Amino acid sequence: MEYVKLNNGVECPVIGIGTYTISPADAEVSVREALKMGYECVDTAAAYVNERACGRGIKASGVPREKVFLSTKLWPSEYENPHAVDETLERLGVEYVDLLYIHQPAGNWLAGYRLLEKAYRAGKAKSIGISNFEGKYLDELQLKWEIVPQFMQAEAHPYFAQDELRKTLAKYDIKLMSWYPLGHGDRSLIEEQIFQKLGEKYQKSPAQIILRWHTQMGFVVIPGSKNVAHIRDNLNILDFKLTNGEMAEIAGLNRGVRYYHRTDEQLDAFASFRPKYEKA
């Protein structure tokens, strides 16, 4: 495994198993099998409604808790709930998480960030982060945080390498964890000629080349899957390294194309939506 060192000295694996849009039953299996095959990072969220399943998967894997970098996110409806962090830990079945995010810049997000800072000081979160806090939201948070976050989670892939965001993150040594790492499965991205060519050179699939690009960009990448073979393939990216010239060639694909476009109306809806958590 390879690791990135965070601005608080904590180390995080460069690749993890993501669980977005994966059902509790499938998430439990994916997490269990991923950890058994060598993954060391698991990413979930309250809004995914599979935290309990991820906790069960961790336990069933047989991997010691301290060997798992566990990441989750508070949803906006919980930002003003003083018990939100403890309730999150209860759902996961753990005493702490390695990374705790606020999920969206919706509702009273500053209250949510204060919950993260309190959890960090109490040792309930070993690191903290912000998810989808781009543009004006990050500009405002910089003026108000008491503890600098360790992570930003945002959309990133070769068509959208987050050039502007990375400039801000670099000032504080905040790491980027990328979602939609394969362009939301866009075949036009995956089938780009450069990935076909490099796949033949390194005996890897185009998806594996793209995931390796993420790690060499300094991103932590969390591809999700309920297919055990795909999970294994996604991990099998650390036995080769793209050259500087190849990284530069991939950089030529960066065209500022997003797959997710958030509106103010969606943020308002996020603030009022309450996830229906899996029962104990």
- Residue 66: predicted pLDDT: 97
Residue 245 lies in a domain: yes
Active site residue 48: yes
Q: Tell which residue, 258, 207, 198, has the closest CA to residue 234.
A: 207
Question: φ and ψ at 278, to 5 degrees?
Answer: -60, 135
Residue 277 has a pLDDT of 87
Beta-carbon contacts of 85 under 8 Å, excluding residues fewer than 6 positions away, are 74, 100, 115, 118, 119, 124, 125
- Residue from 130, 37, 8 nearest 17 by CA: 37
Can you list the positions of beta strands (E) in the chain? 3-5, 11-13, 17-18, 41-43, 69-74, 99-102, 128-131, 151-155, 175-179, 220-221
| Cα separations in angstroms, 222 against 73, 214, 268 | 14, 10, 27
pLDDT at site 113 = 98
| DSSP string computed for 55-117 | HHHHHHHT--GGG-EEEEEE-GGGTT-TTHHHHHHHHHT-S-BSEEEE--S-SSHHHHHHHHH
In a domain, 277, yes or no: no
Q: Which pLDDT belongs to residue 279?
A: 82
277: DSSP letter: P
Gyration radius (Cα) of the chain, Å = 18
Instruction: Say how many domains are in the chain.
Output: 1
Task: Measure the CA–CA gap between 98 and 126, rounded to whole angstroms.
Answer: 5
| Total Cβ atoms within 10 A of residue 160 | 22
Tell me if 171 is assigned to some domain.
yes
CATH number for 195: 3.20.20.100
Q: Note the pLDDT of residue 146.
A: 98
* Res 280: pLDDT: 75
280 belongs to a structural domain: no
Q: Which of 39, 48, 101, 159 is catalytic?
A: 48
In this structure, is residue 71 part of a structural domain? yes
In a domain, 154, yes or no: yes
Question: Mean pLDDT of successive 10-residue segments in the chain (280 residues)?
Answer: 98 98 97 98 98 98 98 97 98 98 97 98 98 95 98 98 96 97 94 98 98 98 96 98 98 94 90 87
Range of the domain at 155: 3-272
